[in-house]
Amino acid sequence: FVKEYNVHSSNEDHYQRVSNGPLKNKVSKRKKKLQLPHAFLEFLATGEFCTLSSTVHEARTSSDGATTKLAVKLHDGELVESVLMRHINKGGCRATLCVSSQVGCAMGCSFCATATMGIKGNLNAGEILEQMVLAGRILAAEDEARENEELSNLSPKKLSLIRNVVFMGMGEPLNNYNNVVGACKALLDRKRWNLAQGHVTVSTVGVVPKMRQLTAEMPEISMALSLHAPNQEMRTQIVPSAAVYKIEELIDALDGHMVANSADGGLTVIRRRRAMIEYVMLEGETSTLEAAHQLGKLCENRHFFVNLIPYNPTDVEDKLSCPSEEHMKKFQRIVSSYGCYCFIRRTMGADIAGACGQLVVQEDKGKTETSVGDIEDGPFQKNITYENRNTRKTGGENKVDRDFEGLDKTIWTLSVLTSIAAGSFLICSAMLLKNRR
Q: How many CB atoms lie within 10 A of CB 5?
A: 15
Distance between CA 374 and CA 380 in Å, rounded? 13
The conformational region for residue 102 under phi > 0 = left, psi -120 to 50 = alpha, else beta, is beta
Distance between CA 7 and CA 40 in Å, rounded? 8
Find the helix or strand (DSSP H, E) in which 417 lies: helix 404-436
* Active site annotation includes 81: yes
* Active site annotation includes 58: no
Amino acid letter at 178?
N
> 98, 184, 340, 356: which one is catalytic?
356
Look at residues 221, 225, 188 and name the one whose alpha carbon lies nearest to residue 205.
225
Report yes or no: 68 and 97 within 8 Å, Cβ to Cβ: no
Report yes or no: 414 and 271 within 8 Å, Cβ to Cβ: no
Distance between CA 125 and CA 59 in Å, rounded? 22
> 81, 130, 142, 278: which one is catalytic?
81
Distance between CA 72 and CA 52 in Å, rounded? 12
**Interior CA angle at 410 toward 408 and 412, to 5°?**
70
Distance between CA 7 and CA 25 in Å, rounded? 25
Catalytic residue positions, numbered: 81, 356
